[in-house]
Structure 1
């Protein structure tokens, strides 16, 4: 029996540009879990990516080699963030896959290897999308074929549109992930539940 091959090469678009309205404007990316910001935890989850772009305001700082960009106009939603991230990655050597992650899911590191494993071993698909048990598909914890994702966004204004409006018709395969992998932080109750500061 042959050894399993390497995970597929991928880029990562990390979304960190929301208003955090229900948190009184406190940026989610700067919330901390055990001393590390949510942005740091998310970037750690994609440390094997061939190229990474963070979409959001210019702070907090990111590691050397990580790209920065902003959705246009600012605060125009995650679809606009993905579109901006794809443009920023134009200058990076290509990768077959693009991972999209929102930085407000403290446990998202639990989804990333499962998505990569699905792409490596699963049936051919346009992408793989996280689905927690009894939950709904999460397009901001998903791995898409780069060319398919770029075609879906090509020539369209993504401002204030849902991500599903771009990807709902793609033949995506569901990947079951742990419940906490896609549990996001929207309210102060969520902040306390995830033990964030």
Structure 2
């Protein structure tokens, strides 16, 4: 890449490699503590990578920086992070995908959010994505940082984790998502924290500041690996047409139930993974075997029973939901069998508390069982 300053940045890079007393090294060391060595551009001779992959044990610790302070000019200056898609603010949808992060930093104006975050702001506000990224990275503690825009309605935690794991599995300095059109998505990406800080500091020194600089200047200075984006993960909402498309997609038959459950969990502050198939089967069994109104009431009671395990952690609650659903489904099955038998004998015999036999008339066992 040709430098407008006639090669000032290469000189700074050479200074960074030199004695600690060099002026360039001193300036950058003050801004980027613990920085690794400066490196040649990717693909150049001697362009080895700074970091070797370690044994992550299948778990890659990472922080997240979400950029949510843009001007949203193509939305007429609307408050884009707060625009609702599927009943949830765009920013909250992104934060929902960050639940595995050690720390989540949001660069933008403060607002109520569905998850706790660390707030940061570029100076001056609105000075561009690189300035915002630099402001956010100051608060990062992990060796890996996932960088996201705040307008990704279909991002999932699995997609975020995939980026972090891909970075840990190699020696690149960054992993970029590539959208279906083949375009780099530097705001759906993971970076090694220290090389990222180093390049931001170098760019700030070269240009005087980071105001208005495009993200591609950063990407082309890092050794990056490109991977295909998860389906729809890189879809962002820049226009009202994008917002309309996102809202329509969420209501498609194949998506609506998962979207609704996620929205309800966020609204209620629940962080719990449950087998929705088990609960749907239970609701069906209660509706068909007992009576239609029994479906929501039964699932409520299962949830109440599971809540008694809440003090033992999310995994215990998930197990309690499964066990309570199993018991309730078995009860609904017995209830339905009694109704089908019509005599209170057979499969239904002896299931009621303190009632080993029926009087033979069936009147003691079919308390409205046929209503479904």
Q: TM-score, normalized by length of structure 1?
A: 0.87
Q: Does the 8 Å CA contact 1:96/1:147 hold for their aligned counterparts? A: yes
Counterparts in 2 of 1:124 and 1:88: CA distance versus 1, 3 Å = closer
* Preserved CA contact (<8 Å) 1:131 1:174: yes
Partner of 2:147: 100
Aligned to 1:13: 65
Structure 2 partner of 1:54: 106
Map 1:16-165; keep pairs closer than 5 Å. Answer: 16-61=68-113, 63-64=115-116, 66-89=117-140, 94-109=141-156, 111-121=159-169, 123-154=170-201, 156=204, 157-165=209-217
Q: Deviations over 1:159-189 (max 9, x none)?
A: 1111111221211001111351111111111
2:236 alignment partner in structure 1: 184
Unaligned segments of structure 2, at least 5 residues? 1-55, 249-372
CA distance in 2, matches of 1:158, 1:10: 25
Alpha-carbon displacement from aligned partner over 1:51-109 (angstroms, at most 9, x marks no partner): 11100011244633x110111111111111101101233xxxx3110111001121222
Counterpart for residue 224 of structure 2: 172
Q: State the structure with more CA Rg.
A: 2
Q: Report which of the two has the higher share of strand.
A: 1
Of Structure 1 and Structure 2, which has the larger fraction of its residues in helix?
A: 2
RMSD of the alignment, in Å?
1.8
TM-score, with structure 2 as normaliser: 0.48
27 and 39 in structure 1: CA distance in 2 versus 1, 3 angstrom threshold = same
In structure 1, stretches of 5+ residues that fail to align are: none
Q: Give 2:303's aligned residue.
A: none
Aligned residues: 187
